[in-house]
Amino acid sequence: MKNHFQGILMGAVVVGLSGFAGIASSAEMTYKAGDRSSGYTYATKETQGIQDDDIANPAYVYVDDGEALWSKVDGKAGKSCASCHAVDSAMLSDVGTRYPVYNAKLGKLQSLEQKINQEREEKMVAKPYKWESGSMLAMTIYMRNQSKGKPMNVSIDGPVIPFFEAGKKFYDQKRGQLDMSCANCHVDNAGNRIRANLLTEGQSNGFPTYRLKWQKPGSIHRRFRGCNKQVRATPYGYGSDEYVNLELYVAWRGRGLSVETPAVRN
């Protein structure tokens, strides 16, 4: 098995300017909101350039694939997403800012991936997508891309409170043989280099994000697993309650930052 501590340190060489003011190529993007900064502001000019250019951004093919899947009939009910939701629906324009959300029937949070699969199983009578599959990435990238430029805006009120608290607790808990919490790296040391890697605030506003190191876009849960493993901690499963709660907390940390999906990072 790969040595994960080594993993962080051998990762792609990041030579960015910390705290770069963020002169956006498209004027509507908010890369800084209050004391919060997107990973974009820590990225090199080169990486920013790839993200800014829809043609150069290798994840844009997923936007197109997702758009095609949106109106593709699948499953025993003979329906597509488009059978029930207009492509210009209000739902689609802000869904990328709001998830995870509380689902009263389940009595817990639901991530966008889980919502998509619920719709597939219940409304379309179709097979659920696997978490990190091309189809799931295409659908989530397409959907979040419809909210690009809008501020991250998860609800943390009412029934969400205990799940938010659980996410915060996870974030502050030291883990693994290296005994580090998310906060140790992404709050206490944002802007500092850990060997060759420049630590950012670990914001989620660009997910699913295209990572140059992965040569592929990945979900936020894939990133959580990577960050857990690099401190030699056992990761949780894709779609686990722990990660969905954590996802909510991380999304709240980035409130007000523009959705950037699909972002490009090292």
Partner 1 sequence: MGDRILAVWALGVVLSLGFSTNATAAEKLMKFMVKDGAIAKSLTGKPGDATKGRKLAISRKQGNCLACHKMPIPEQPFHGEVGPELNGVAGRLSEGQIRAMIVNPKMANPNTIMPAFYRNEGFTRVLKKFKGKAMLSASQVEDLVAYTMTLK
Q: Which is nearer to ligand HEC, 108 or 225 (CB)?
A: 225
Closest CA to 221 of 148, 149, 124, 140: 140
Using alpha carbons only, what angle is made at residue 207 by residues 204 and 208, rounded to the nearest 5 degrees?
A: 155
**Per-residue contact track with ligand HEC, 6 to 25, x per CB under 6 A?**
--x-----------------
Closer to ligand HEC at the Cβ: 129 or 171?
171
Nearest-angstrom CA–CA distance, 137 and 2: 25
The nearer residue to partner 1, 215 or 234, going by C-beta atoms, is 234
| 99 CB burial (10 A radius; 0-12, 13-18, 19+) | buried
* String marking each residue 226-245 x if it binds ligand HEC according to CB under 6 A: -xx-xx--------------
- Residue 227 annotated among the catalytic residues of the structure: yes
* Of residues 260, 236, 255, the one with CA closest to residue 57: 260
CA-nearest of 34, 29, 38 to 200 is: 38
- Least separation in angstroms between residue 149's CB and ligand HEC is 17
By beta-carbon proximity to partner 1, the closer residue of 4 and 108 is 4
Taking residue 138's Cβ as centre, other Cβ atoms within 10 Å add up to 24
Q: Give the range of 22-30, 33-41, 169-177, 250-258 binding partner 1 by CB under 8 A.
A: 169-177
Segment interacting with ligand HEC, rule: CB under 6 A, options 18-26, 119-127, 159-167, 184-192: 184-192
Q: Does 180 bind ligand HEC (CB under 6 A)?
A: yes
Cα angle at 10 between 6 and 11, to 5 degrees?
120
Considering only residues 171 to 230 of the shown chain, the ones binding partner 1 according to CB under 8 A are 173-180, 184-185, 188-189, 192-196, 228-229
With contacts defined by CB under 6 A, how many residues of the chain interact with ligand HEC? 25
Q: What is d(CA 166, CA 171) in angstroms, rounded to the nearest whole number?
A: 9
Q: Among partner 1, ligand HEC, none, what binds residue 101 when CB lies within 5 to 8 Å by partner kind?
A: none
Residues 25-44 that bind ligand HEC (CB under 6 A): 39
Q: Any idea what DSSP says for residue 264?
A: E
The reply on whether position 203 binds ligand HEC by CB under 6 A is yes
Helix (H) or strand (E) holding 209: strand 209-211
Q: Does 154 bind ligand HEC (CB under 6 A)?
A: no
Quick check: 82 and 66 in contact, CB under 8 A? no
Catalytic residues: 227
Where along the sequence are the contacts to partner 1 (CB under 8 A)? Answer: 1, 3-6, 8-10, 13, 173-180, 184-185, 188-189, 192-196, 228-229, 232-234, 237
